[in-house]
Structure 1
Amino acid sequence: MGTVILGPPTSRGCPEEGSQDGQSWYPASPRRSLPVLWPRSMALDSKQGHRARRSGSRIPRRPPRAADLSAAPAQASAALAGPRMESQRSRRAGWRAGAEGGEERGKLGKLLPLLPSDPAVSSLHLPVPNHVDALGLREPSSEPPRTPPDLLLPRPSAAPMPGARRARRPLSAAVAAAAAPAAVPAAGSGRGRAHMATQAHSFSYGGCNFFRQRLVLSTLSGRPVKIRKIRAKDENPGLRDFEASFVRLLDKITNGSRIEINQTGTTLYYQPGLLYGGSVEHDCSAHRSIGYYLESLLCLAPFMKHPLRVILRGITNDQVDPSVDVLKATALPLLKQFGIDGESFELKIIRRGMPPGGGGEVFFSCPVRKLLKPIQLTDPGKIKRIRGMAYSVRVSPQIANRIVESSRSILNKFIPDIYIYTDHMKGINSGKSPGFGLSLVAETTNGTFLSAELASNPQGQGAAVLPEDLGRNCAKLLLEEIYRGGCVDSTNQSLVLLLMTLGQQDVSKVLLGPLSPYTIEFLRHLKSFFQIMFKIESKPCGEELKGGEKVLMTCVGVGFSNLSKTIK
């Protein structure tokens, strides 16, 4: 393609639309910044132009012919857009540069005053002149040159006024603009362009609710997630310490994860890596207990590349999250139903820690499985025994005994097989803060475990709680959980639904009690990340099912396979 001269048209630069005589040449629209291409043969001779101006006669201007448009590239390189397309000053400066720097440099100097300075024009798909390639500033391409699009017009406000003096840009800037690749440049650096391309396929959520659900499902599905407006209107916006600690834990157990947080902490972008596992140690935040982190590890641990062996330090029992005692008594037997079992499957409390000081330590190890078995848990059975754990740290050992007596006074009315252990730790194993609590687990004839727990108020927060009141209230909570019924208690509803989703491509069924709001939102996230929906059947209470209304959940697994596990 020949050289193209770009310049702002004047009032006489475009033929009038609909003219037949070819003598009237006036703009068809008031837009004055449209680039116009003129061959060299249409330029007026300087002597004829001077003679015509002196005599006052009108110089006829004819429309371009086909022979003119097919002129040689060397002629097109010196074309001018009408007699007033460029000023005399810029024309002389271009030829002066040619005399000093050679013919090719002179042509380029002539091109410089006509290069568009508006960003909207410079971002168009402009053809690269041949003399730029001849200078070695850009390697010649085998692809055919692209023509500027007709519809991408620059803004009228950026057009220079006729006869205005335009500042000449440096040579390097003009060459870079002329030799730019034929693509609209993206905002930001190269890393930012790749970042935006990656985020185009990520899930986007708003708010801090269900933070763990989104990150855990993103890790298992391998789909990036972006969470915006994290406490954006709060006095202290952004992620909390326990949420940042959870993100750090995910980074430890994965390989290749990409985590980006803005300066205010209100936006998080998480691109998951591969679940690696291995030996990990993590210090949990003092604002949430170890159960906050352990619940997510139970979902991810079976799909690691190496068996997970993790040591978590922090608070073992509080009033917000499930305690380690409850997860050990209910979640581990549930995982065994899906085939996750072995000698290395263990959850042990090394030290107890109560809020606000913490100081507890927990060891958790889990084997790796390639596939999960489907389950059919439709008959919860009847309660056959109740077990429990009354713990106390940095208080009198008699408090645990008082808790046991008060809770048995209520539970003995329903079943005789009740045994509640006492656990009183001393010294360094008792953590940094005093406290006590009780966790109860009811086991059925079909291997279902229903749990309830209660802990004392943290030191210096709220009113003091009597051990007798705590024992009786915890026993009532267990009776309420038994009334809700189901094959899985309300604490582990989301865990069993996730394992059913990731199971083999077979039908799995489970009977649950009334779904908690946390479980309902978890079902929505499962549909987003794994495109799976559950069949929900309501089972009213009757002769066969005692207690409250039950829900039968049925689904077909997605056939999730642990590709990281080596086959021996």
Structure 2
Amino acid sequence: MAGCQDVIVIDGGMLEGGGQILRNSAALSCLLGQPVTINNIRAGRSNPGLRPQHLMGLQLIRDICGGKLTGDRVGSTEITFHPGPIKGGSYQADTKTAGSICLLMQAAMPCLLYGDGESVLSLRGGTNAEMAPQVDYTIMVFNPMAEEFGMTSDCDIRRRGYYPKGGGEVKITSYPTKKLKPVSMTTRGEVTKVNIRSFVAGALTIKVADIMARCAVDTIQQVYKDVAISKDVVKEPEHAAVGTGTGIIIVAETSTGCLLAGSALGKKGVPAEKVGTDAAQMLLDNLAHGGCVDDHLQDQFILLMALAEGKSEVLCGPITLHTKTAIHVAQLLTKAKFEIKKLSDNSNVIECAGIGLVNSRLP
């Protein structure tokens, strides 16, 4: 595959039609040495083309492999990427906005798995941003669950950054792997524990975080009366946060080691009670379908399943549009075979025969 120089053209407006197509396509292009052109970028959005955070993600992947990227400017609706060999090292990216650090991580971290050594990413932007997973989700859910594939990294939040200023900073240390293992996650087990992190920063008082946490506990206990719930109610210190922000993330642990989450961010005019209740309801919805992963993890696992050696299977809820998009891109570029087995209206198993990509840069 690495020797194939025919450029594969990907329609950036298909299915979900957003930044995810860019991230997954560019990451797989980098990993496989396969040039790509992505056109119709975010064609259906109110402001089509590349936004600053998408641009930074693409340029970060370019830097990691010393590739050639054309069309890389804000507003561009077509880019072409010719990847080079992945190199471990230190890399930086700054959205210069409240653009999500987590979405930069989603783009870069799979690439660094196949580097020639340990890598360090220093990323700046929004740590807890709308329309993206919170950085706490990456630390509390994605990283521990992705370790099942053999993907390991450390994540250090240096400073939190909130909308509209951003200014957060996260340092990630990524450890390379020879190849990823398949996973079998088909038994959810019982919910054994729930962990809540409720936070405020800037001008808000800790009372707001306490109200969110209490309302979340009340909502969860209506369904899970006897499950232990731990609360971490935090006012971020001034030196550790830029701007004023508030939010909550709730993670359920199960007897088989599954982690599922719900989260919400505070907004002007939205009562703290509603923020806490909304996050708890999102968790309850994710638990109700009986799957081993929540909606966010469902699509983030697709790329790892495609790269792993052998057959992976993951029990999940309804298949999201993000997941359908991720599968489409993965099949197009990797030739991994995916199959969705429908168990009921709310329950599916995603199966994948992965390509077993080997890291030739490690001995």
Equivalent residue, structure 2, for 1:445: 255
1:201 to 2:7 alignment: yes
Aligned length: 351
Structure 1 235/486 Cα, relative in aligned 2: closer, same or farther at 3 Å?
closer
Taking the aligned partners of 1:251 and 1:262, their CA distance within structure 2 comes to 11
Tell me the residue number matched to 1:427. Answer: 238
CA distance in 2, matches of 1:557, 1:536: 14
1:446 is aligned with what amino acid?
T
One of 370, 377, 388 as aligned partner of 2:178: 370
**Counterpart of 2:360?**
563
Q: Give the match for residue 487 of structure 1.
A: 292
1:530 aligns with 2:338: no
Other structure's SS at 2:89 match: strand
Counterpart position of 1:334: 145
Paired letter, 2:288: Y
What's the offset of the Cα at 1:201?
Answer: 3.5
1:483-562 matched pairs, under 5 angstroms: 483-504=288-309, 506-540=310-344, 549-562=346-359
Compare CA radii of gyration and give the structure with the larger one: 1
1:473 counterpart residue number? 278
**CA shift at 1:233, angstroms?**
9.3
- Counterpart AA for 2:52: D
Alignment of 1:204-283 (within 5 A): 204-207=10-13, 209=18, 210-230=21-41, 238-255=49-66, 257-261=67-71, 265-283=76-94
Corresponding letter in the other structure for 1:497: I
| 1:325 and 2:136 aligned | yes
Distance 2:92 2:293 in 1: 30
More strand by share: 2
Alpha carbons of structure 1 residues 502 and 206: separation in structure 2 relative to 1, 3 Å: closer
Structure 2 counterpart of 1:28: none
Q: Deviations over 1:381-419 (max 9, x none)?
A: 111110021111011122111211111122233133001
Distance 2:117 2:272 in 1: 44
CA displacement at 1:423 relative to structure 2: 2.3
Distance in 2 (alpha carbons) for counterparts of 1:410 and 1:234: 35
CA distance in 1, matches of 2:278, 2:12: 37
Query: Identity across aligned pairs (percent)?
Result: 27
- 1:456 aligned residue: 266
Q: 3-state DSSP class of the match of 1:421?
A: strand
TM value normalised by structure 2: 0.90
Equivalent pair of 2:198/2:212 in contact (CA under 8 Å):
yes
Shift of 1:204: 4.0
Q: Are the structure 2 counterparts of residues 513 and 237 from structure 1 closer, same or farther at C-alpha, using a change threshold of 3 Å?
A: closer
| Residues 242-275 of structure 1, C-alpha deviations (whole Å, 9 max, x = no match) | 22111221122222x0111188723211111222
- Mapped pair 1:351 → 2:156: no
Q: 1:248 to 1:552 in 2, by over 3 A?
A: same
Give the Cα separation in 1 of the matches to 2:297 and 2:158: 24
| 1:283-302 pair list within 5 angstroms | 283-302=94-113
**Counterpart in the other structure of 1:142:** none
Distance 1:296 1:493 in 2: 16
CA displacement at 1:287 relative to structure 2: 4.8
Unaligned runs of 5+ in 2: none
Task: State the 1:277 CA deviation.
Answer: 2.6
Q: Distance in 2 between matches of 1:232 and 1:503?
A: 32
Indicate the residue corresponding to 1:360 in structure 2: 168
Please report how far the alpha carbon of residue 206 of structure 1 lies from its aligned counterpart in structure 2 after TM superposition: 4.6
| AA aligned opposite 2:134 | S
Deviation of 1:454 after TM superposition, in Å, equals: 0.2
Residue 11 of structure 2 aligns to which amino acid in structure 1? Y
Aligned partner of residue 355 in structure 2, secondary structure? coil
1:410 matched to 2:219? The reply is yes
Change (3 A) 1:520 1:231: closer
Cα offset for 1:340?
3.1
User: What are the equivalent positions in structure 2 for 1:381-396 lying under 5 Å apart?
Assistant: 381-394=189-202, 395-396=204-205
Larger mean CA deviation between 484-493 and 446-455 belongs to 484-493
Deviations 1:330-355 (A, max 9, x none): 111122112234xxx31121211110
Q: Within 2, Cα distance between the matches of 1:381 and 1:323?
A: 26
Cα RMSD, aligned residues only: 2.2
Deviation per CA, 1:213-249, whole angstroms, max 9, x where unpaired?
2212212222111122446798966422222111221
Q: Structure 1: give runs of 5+ residues left out of the alignment.
A: 1-197, 458-462, 541-547
Matching residue's letter, 2:332 = S
Q: Show the 5 A alignment for 1:90-239.
A: 200-207=6-13, 209=18, 210-230=21-41, 238-239=49-50
Alpha-carbon deviations, 1:151-193, whole Å to 9, x = none?
Answer: xxxxxxxxxxxxxxxxxxxxxxxxxxxxxxxxxxxxxxxxxxx
- Worse-superposed segment, 313-322 or 261-270: 261-270
Q: Specify whether residues 283 and 404 from structure 1 end up closer, same or farther in structure 2 by C-alpha distance, changes over 3 A only.
A: same
SS in 2 for 1:311: strand
Q: Does the Cα contact within 8 Å between 2:128 and 2:135 map onto a contact in 1?
A: yes
Shift of 1:439: 0.4
Tell me, in whole angstroms, the C-alpha distance in 2 between the residues paired with 1:356 and 1:261: 27
Residue 557 of structure 1, CA deviation: 2.1
Q: Normalising by structure 1, what TM-score?
A: 0.58
| Secondary structure in 2 matching 1:306 | coil
Change (3 A) 1:236 1:438: closer
Distance (whole Å) between structure 1 residues aligned to residue 42 and residue 254 of structure 2: 43
Match of 1:180 in 2: none
Higher relative contact order (CA 8 A, sep 6+): 2
Amino acid at match of 1:403: M
